[in-house]
């Protein structure tokens, strides 16, 4: 009851302040009159709940769909975003049109998003509304503190408690994890695409440098796609190494030892100037991936061999089709590898099959490396059976020099290639 009374008092202060602002003769955007009162209200709400709530205002960039108005932190962790609308627009984005509707189509990927126009308050998670929209009894633009009744405060407290207590729910199944991450990756891609339309954006220079080093003819959409996927998978790999992805410097250090290319890519792509442009999507990716249990990413490697196909199916089905990113079942790969091994030994006079120094293996479309891993496993089993366990390490080194895999289509095909489980390098 004490909480409801304190929330009611804070909400009445918000309503009175907005009414005072709206009644002044000077011109001003209606939405802007909510910003200060809203921020103070959430701080007072946090005090009532014993939480330290900080609303960090996001810079709105002219001519773009932009970012939600506030990143809301509770207990030093990003808990979600708040988007303010001019009083009268409501908090049901399904009814929006034009710019607001296009903005919602991007924001709906956010797993914890509060919409507010002062009178209406709605909570959405990944595009789905949580609870009913709360509507105040009166109008904050004209009724002052009288716009708020006790029942309003009680209903709103329920929604806002849910909002502030949010924590990512991470599925243990790798396939389900793709459904959680792919929309956030797509939001990051769209934010980058938006930024590239502005000649003054630091991402324009970053894209120019990227083209000079890697893909001279790549158009902006390809850069935005590569950017988003690289950052997403780099953060996942850093998390698999036990790093906190909330701290980008820690993620970069975790990658540096064995994944120096990705470490450098993450450092360049998340330069502070670039972060300013894509903060909403990037920070939510960091927050969600940070909750992924390390053991979910470091178990048997078979799930990672088809992770990218599942990811693309959700992230961009057309891109998946164009890339030909379709997973070959492990059982099929193993059967094919055994057949070639048998041909090498029984028809071509190579007793150790793939492990013979004279046998060179080339995979011209390596994808996630399923076939190369199958070759390694088959070859080392053959060595151990023929020459004993002591011979495996030396033969593994020789085998690594004879394995070649190429994947020209997408850098991210190889980001989760399970090199950490292989004792020798592979030419890629």
- What's the pLDDT at 327? 60
Most confident of 228-242, 251-265, 295-309, 342-356: 342-356
pLDDT at 92 over 70: yes
State the average pLDDT over residues 300-309.
Answer: 56
| Span of 136-145, 299-308, 310-319, 374-383 with lowest mean pLDDT | 299-308
Q: Are residues 222 and 339 in the same domain?
A: no
- What's the pLDDT at 308? 64
Residue 305 lies in a domain: no
Q: Are residues 13 and 156 in the same domain?
A: yes
Report percent pLDDT > 70 for the chain: 83
Q: Are residues 152 and 178 in the same domain?
A: no
- What's the pLDDT at 274? 83
Residue 310 lies in a domain: no
Q: Are residues 233 and 157 in the same domain?
A: no
Q: Are residues 124 and 87 in the same domain?
A: yes
Residue 39 lies in a domain: yes
- What's the pLDDT at 25? 72
Q: What CATH number is associated with residue 73?
A: 3.90.1570
- What's the pLDDT at 329? 67
Would you place residue 363 in the very low, low, confident or very high pLDDT band (cuts 50, 70, 90)? Answer: confident
- Which two structure tokens, joined as six digits, stand for 58? 């996001």
pLDDT at 138 over 50: yes
Q: Are residues 9 and 121 in the same domain?
A: yes
- What's the pLDDT at 380? 93
Residue 189's nearest CA partner among 224, 240, 231 is 224
- What's the pLDDT at 421? 32
Most confident of 211-225, 288-302, 367-381, 387-401: 387-401
Q: Are residues 69 and 18 in the same domain?
A: yes
State the average pLDDT over residues 213-224.
Answer: 80
Are 233 and 415 in contact, with CB atoms under 8 Å apart?
yes
Return the higher-pLDDT residue of 60 and 117: 117
Residue 322 lies in a domain: no
Return the higher-pLDDT residue of 245 and 419: 245
Q: Are residues 404 and 354 in the same domain?
A: yes
Task: List, as one string, the DSSP characters of 39-88.
Answer: HHHHHHHHHHHT--EEEEEPPPPTTS----SEEEEETTEEEEEEEE--TT
- What's the pLDDT at 298? 62
pLDDT at 411 over 50: no
- What pLDDT digit, counting tens, does each position of 164-206 carry? 999 988 877 777 788 888 889 889 998 999 889 888 888 998 8
- What's the pLDDT at 423? 32
Angle, vertex CA 303, rays to CA 299 and CA 304, nearest 5: 90
Residue span of the structural domain in which 42 resides: 2-164
pLDDT at 412 over 50: no
Are 372 and 363 in contact, with CB atoms under 8 Å apart?
yes
Average pLDDT score over the chain: 84
- What's the pLDDT at 337? 92
pLDDT at 320 over 60: no
Q: What is the helix (H) or strand (E) element at residue 220, kind and residue range?
A: helix 220-240
Q: Are residues 140 and 236 in the same domain?
A: no
Residue 27 lies in a domain: yes
Beta strands in 90-181, from DSSP E residues, in sequence order: 113-116, 120-125, 128-135
Number of domains in the chain: 3
Return the higher-pLDDT residue of 155 and 236: 155
pLDDT at 161 over 60: yes
State the average pLDDT over residues 300-304.
Answer: 52
Return the higher-pLDDT residue of 35 and 257: 35
State the average pLDDT over residues 119-146.
Answer: 95
Residue 427 lies in a domain: no
Residue 314 lies in a domain: no
- What's the pLDDT at 265? 82
Residue 380's nearest CA partner among 357, 418, 352 is 352
Q: Are residues 96 and 207 in the same domain?
A: no
Q: Are residues 160 and 178 in the same domain?
A: no
- What's the pLDDT at 94? 92
Would you place residue 43 in the very low, low, confident or very high pLDDT band (cuts 50, 70, 90)? Answer: very high
Whether the pTM exceeds 0.95: the reply is: no
Would you place residue 241 in the very low, low, confident or very high pLDDT band (cuts 50, 70, 90)? Answer: confident
Residue 161's nearest CA partner among 3, 11, 38, 12 is 3
Q: Could you say which of 114, 130, 164 is where a domain stops?
A: 164
Residue 428 lies in a domain: no
């Amino acid at each position: 009851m004490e909480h409801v009374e304190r929330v009611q008092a804070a909400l009445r202060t918000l309503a009175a302040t907005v009414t005072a602002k709206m009644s002044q003769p000077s011109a001003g955007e209606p939405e802007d009159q909510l910003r200060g009162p809203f921020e103070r209200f959430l701080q007072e709400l946090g005090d009532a709940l014993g939480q330290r709530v900080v609303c960090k205002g996001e810079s709105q960039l002219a001519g773009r769909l932009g970012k939600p108005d506030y990143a809301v932190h509770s207990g030093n962790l990003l808990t979600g975003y708040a988007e303010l609308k001019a009083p009268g627009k409501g908090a049901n984005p399904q009814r929006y049109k034009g710019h607001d509707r296009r903005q919602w189509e991007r924001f709906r990927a956010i797993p914890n998003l509060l919409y507010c126009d002062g009178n209406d308050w709605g909570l959405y998670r990944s595009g789905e509304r949580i609870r009913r929209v709360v509507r105040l009894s009166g109008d904050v633009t004209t009724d002052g503190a009288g716009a708020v009744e006790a029942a309003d405060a009680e209903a709103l407290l329920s929604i806002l408690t849910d909002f502030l207590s949010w924590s990512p729910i991470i599925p243990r199944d790798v396939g389900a994890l793709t459904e959680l991450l792919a929309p956030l990756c797509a939001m990051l891609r769209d934010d980058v695409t938006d930024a590239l339309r502005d000649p003054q954006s630091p991402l324009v220079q970053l894209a120019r440098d990227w083209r000079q080093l890697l893909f001279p003819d790549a158009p902006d959409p390809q850069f935005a796609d590569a950017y988003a996927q690289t950052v997403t998978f780099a953060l996942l790999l850093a998390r698999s190494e036990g790093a906190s992805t909330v701290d980008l410097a820690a993620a970069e250090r975790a990658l540096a030892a064995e994944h120096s290319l990705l470490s450098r890519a993450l450092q360049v792509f998340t330069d502070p100037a670039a972060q300013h442009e894509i903060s909403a999507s990037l920070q939510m990716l960091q927050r969600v991936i940070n909750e992924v249990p390390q053991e979910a990413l470091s178990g048997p490697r078979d799930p990672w061999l088809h992770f990218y196909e599942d990811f693309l199916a959700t992230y961009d089905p057309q891109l998946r089709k164009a890339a030909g990113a379709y997973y070959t079942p492990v059982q099929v790969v193993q059967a094919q590898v055994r057949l070639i091994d048998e041909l090498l030994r029984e028809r071509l006079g190579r007793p150790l099959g793939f492990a013979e120094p004279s046998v060179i293996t080339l995979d011209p479309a390596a994808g996630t490396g399923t076939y190369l891993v199958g070759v390694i496993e088959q070859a080392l089993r053959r060595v151990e059976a023929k020459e004993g366990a002591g011979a495996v390490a030396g033969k593994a080194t020789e085998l690594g020099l004879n394995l070649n895999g190429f994947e020209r289509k997408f850098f991210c095909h190889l980001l989760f290639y399970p090199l950490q489980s292989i004792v020798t390098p592979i030419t890629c």
